[in-house]
Structure 1
Amino acid sequence: MRTILVIFLAMLIFSCKETKVKSVSMKEDVSVLANDSLNGRKTGSEGEKKAAEYIATRFADLGLQPKGTDGYFQKFTFKASKNPHQEAEFTSEKNDPSTGLRVETGENVVAYLDNKAENTVVIGAHYDHLGMGGEGSLYREGEAIHNGADDNASGVAMMLHLADSLRFDSAQRPKNNNFLFIAFSGEEEGLLGSNYFVKNPTIDTKKVTYMLNMDMVGRLNSGNTLAVYGLGTSPILKQTVKANAGDLNIVENESGVGPSDHTSFYLADIPVLHFFTGQHEDYHKPSDDTEKVNFAGMEIVSNYIFSIIKDLDSQKKLPFRKTKNESEVVPDFKVTLGVVPDYLFSGKGMRIDGVSEEKPAQKAGLQKGDVVVKMGEFEVTDMMSYMKSLSKFEKGQTESVTINRDGELKEFEVTF
C-alpha cells in the first residue's frame, strides 16, 4: 500500500504540466525519498539515480533553472571508499578487476533561482544514504534497507520547501540575492558531492555570500532544541541566529568544520550555517523511517531558516572568518564506551542518547539518559573532555565511571 501511494504521488509530480505548481508537502517528499523502492539511495546505485530524477523534477516544477553540467545534474566519478566521512578520492580511472579498483558515479542535483542579484546564497542537503547497510551502518543483523528518512530525506525536503517559499513573488520574498539549491550525492562516502562542487563550481563561488546546510532536521525534540554550527564563520551570524530563534532552544557551535557538506564550503572560505536536530537511536539503522519524523517540528525549523535568510538579505556579501577546527584537536583513543552521545545536551557532562548492544556501557549497566560526569580520575564536563578522558584508557582496562541518573550520582565499573 505504501509503495502504491508513493508511486501515485511521484506520477502526479512527474506529469504536472500546469502553470500553477502543485503544492508538495515535506511529508510527501520524505515519503518518496525514504521509500523502500529506492533501496536506501546508496551513492551510485539505481535507487540514488531515481531519487536524483525525482529531485530534478521537483526543481523543474518549482520553475528553477538547471545549474548542473548536464541540465540539473553534475556527475562525478570516485574510488569506492570503505570509510565514511573521509576526504573524497575522485578519479578518472575505470573499473579494473585485476587491481580490485571499483569506480562509482555520483551526481549532484543543482538548481538556480535567478534574482538578477550580484551575490548568491547556496542552500544544500545531501540525498544519498547507506543503501542496504555495510560500512557506516550501526545495524548488526545483516543486510536491510536503510531508508534514511531523517538522514537525510528530511534535509532535502526542507531544502525543497525553502525553494518553494523563496520563489514566490511577494513583498516578503528575499530578492537581494540569487539562490543556488544543491542536493549533494556521496556525503556518506566522504562529503564527495560537496567537495566536487566546490572544486568544480557551476557558478562563481567568489560571489557566494554564505551557505546553509541541512542534515538530519527531522527529529526536533519536545524541548525544541536545534543545533546550529558555523556561527563563528562570519561576524554577523551569531547575532542573526539568536535574534530569530523564537521558541527554539539553540545549541551554538562556532566551528565551520563538521561531518557534513557545509565543511566543503567552509574550507573554500565561504561562511556557513549547518542545522541539525540531533542524533537518535535510529541513526544509520533501518529503523530511520518516515513515520518517526516530526513534520510539525520540520515546519518550525524551516520557518526559522527562512527568517534567517530574510534577515541576512539586506546585508552585503558576508565577510568570512576562520574558526577553531575542532577536528584537529580531537584526541586519538583506542577504546570505546559504546554509546551514542546526545549532541544537543548543553549541561555539564556527556549525556547518553543511545547504548549499543554488547558494548562496555551496556555490560556495565549504563542507560540512555545517563550523564557521564567522571571517568576514572578525569572530570567530564562536555563532549571534548569526555573524548580526552576516553583517550587515556587502554583496551582491557577497567575503570570507574560516574554518572548522573535523575539527579543521583551512581558509579559503575566499566571494562573497555
Structure 2
Amino acid sequence: MRAILVIFLAILVFSCKETKVKPITMKEDVSILANDSLKGRKTGSADEKKAAEYIAKRFADIGLQPKGTNGYFQKFTFKASKNPHQEAEFTSEKGDSTKTAENVIAYLDNKAENTVVIGAHYDHLGMGGEGSLYREGEAIHNGADDNASGVAMMLHLADSLRFDSALQPKKNNYLFIAFSGEEEGLLGSNYFVKNPTIDTKKITYMLNMDMVGRLNAEKNLAVYGLGTSPILKQTVLANAGNLKITENESGVGPSDHTSFYLADIPVLHFFTGQHEDYHKPSDDTEKVNFEGMKAVSNYIFSIIKDLDNQPKLPFRKTKNESEVVPEFKVTLGVVPDYLFSGKGMRIDGVSEDKPAQKAGLQKGDVVVKMGDFEVTDMMSYMKSLSKFEKGQTTLVTIKRNEELKEVEVTF
C-alpha cells in the first residue's frame, strides 16, 4: 500500500502541467526522492536525472522562475573523483572517463537589491561503492536523510517564501539550488560558484541543509558558519526556541556551503547529526523525524525573517579547521557524535571489524583519554589519534553510564 501511495503521488505531480497542485508535504517529497525507483540518485545517472526533473517540476508548481542555463537546469561535465568532498575536476570535453550531471536552479524575484541562496544536494550513492559504509555487496542507498531531507526542506521553504503576504520577508530575492555531485566532491556547488547564473556580488548569504531529517529527542541541531558574518551568531541563537544549538564558527565543512564561503559569501549550514544509517542502505524514509523537520524548517524561516531587515551581510573569514587537522595513520573505527557538547568524544556508531569493535567499545561511550593523551573534544581526539602507529596497542579510557573504564585497543 505504501509503495502504491508513493507511485500515485509521483504520477500526480508529474502529470499536473497547468493546474496548481495541492502543496506537497516534506514527507511526500522525501518519500518520492528516497524511493527505490530512483536507485539512490547516483551523480550523473539516469535515475538522478529523474530526481532532477521531479525537483524542477516542484519548482514550477510553486511558481518559481527557472534560473539555470537551460530552463531550471545547469549541466556540467566532470571526471569522477575517488576522494569525496575534495575539489572537483571539471572538463569541457566529454570522454569515456567523464560524466554529465546538473544542478536544478529556481528564482523568486522580489525586485530586491540582494539575493539569498538556499541550497541542498539531491544526489546520493546509488548502489553503494565509493563512500558507502555498507560491506555486504551492492544495495540501493536511498539517502532519505542524506539528503532527500534537505531538498524537501528547501522546497518547503520555497513554498513558504512564495506565499503572498504582507508579513512575508520580501526585501531579498531568493535563489533555490538543488546541487548535484556533493557526494563526489562538492561538484555542483563548486561549479555554480565558478559559473553563476546571478551576480554573486549581490548574494547576501547562503543557507545549506544537509542531513536535517534526524532531529533527536534532545532537539540538538548543529549550525555551522556562525563566524562568517558578525550578525549571524546573535541571529542563530536568538531564534533557537526549544532547539539546542551546537555552534560552529567555521565556514568550511564537508558540504556545499563551503563552496560559497570560499567565494567570500556568509554561510549557515544546518545538520541534525550523524547516525548509524549514514551512507548505508538503511537510510530510509521511515526513519526520518518529520515533526523534527518541521521544527527545523520553522527555525530556518525565522532566521530568514529576522535577517530580512538587514542590509547585505558583511563577510568575515573564520579559522579553517581543515588546515589544522593532524594527519594520522590509524583509525579507531567509530562514527563521532558531532552534536555532543560535553567533555570528550562520544561514539555515535561503531564500524564492524575495526579496532573499536574488537576492543568492545559501544555506541554512547565517551572517549576521555587515549594512552597518555587527554581527549576533551573532537580536535584533541584527532590529535591523540595522530600519535599512534599501525599495530600499536594502547589503553583507551572511556566513560560508560557515568563509570570510567579502561579498554585495550590495538590499531
TM-score scaled by structure 1? 0.98
How far did 1:17 drift? 4.2
2:215 and 2:379 map into 1 onto residues whose CA distance is: 24
* Deviations 1:281-340 (CA, angstroms, capped at 9, x unpaired): 000000000000000000000000000000000000000000000000010000000000
Report the equivalent of 1:29.
29
2:20–2:61 contact (8 Å) kept in structure 1: no
Report the equivalent of 2:74.
74
2:406 and 2:43 map into 1 onto residues whose CA distance is: 44
- 2:270 alignment partner, SS class: strand
What residue identity is the alignment partner of 2:407?
F
- 1:256 alignment partner, SS class: coil
Aligned residues: 411
Report the equivalent of 1:99.
none
- 1:233 alignment partner, SS class: coil
Deviates more, 1:163-172 or 1:246-255: 163-172
1:3–1:37 contact (8 Å) kept in structure 2: no
2:77–2:94 contact (8 Å) kept in structure 1: no
Report the equivalent of 1:266.
261
What residue identity is the alignment partner of 2:363?
K
Runs of 5+ unmatched residues, structure 2: none
| Selected match of 1:189 from 168, 176, 184 | 184
What residue identity is the alignment partner of 2:205?
Y
2:195 and 2:350 map into 1 onto residues whose CA distance is: 41
* Deviations 1:169-225 (CA, angstroms, capped at 9, x unpaired): 112210000000000000000000000000000000000000000000000000000
1:282–1:288 contact (8 Å) kept in structure 2: yes
- 2:16 alignment partner, SS class: coil
1:372 matches 2:378: no
| Selected match of 1:151 from 146, 169, 185 | 146
How far did 1:13 drift? 1.2
How far did 1:46 drift? 0.9
1:402 matches 2:370: no
2:287 and 2:23 map into 1 onto residues whose CA distance is: 23
Residues 196-235 of structure 1 aligned to structure 2 (within 5 Å): 196-235=191-230
* Deviations 1:235-263 (CA, angstroms, capped at 9, x unpaired): 00000000000000000000000000000
- 2:157 alignment partner, SS class: helix
1:414 matches 2:401: no
Residues 207-356 of structure 1 aligned to structure 2 (within 5 Å): 207-356=202-351
1:384 matches 2:375: no
How far did 1:369 drift? 0.2
2:276–2:348 contact (8 Å) kept in structure 1: yes
2:6 and 2:308 map into 1 onto residues whose CA distance is: 36
What residue identity is the alignment partner of 2:313?
L
1:306 and 1:5 map into 2 onto residues whose CA distance is: 30
1:93 and 1:5 map into 2 onto residues whose CA distance is: 42
2:118 and 2:157 map into 1 onto residues whose CA distance is: 9
1:178 and 1:158 map into 2 onto residues whose CA distance is: 18
1:89 matches 2:104: no
2:205–2:266 contact (8 Å) kept in structure 1: yes
1:331–1:391 contact (8 Å) kept in structure 2: yes
Report the equivalent of 2:42.
42
- 1:142 alignment partner, SS class: coil
1:388 and 1:276 map into 2 onto residues whose CA distance is: 24
Report the equivalent of 2:127.
132
TM-score scaled by structure 2? 0.99
- 1:231 alignment partner, SS class: coil
2:198 and 2:92 map into 1 onto residues whose CA distance is: 23
Percent of counterpart pairs with the same letter?
89
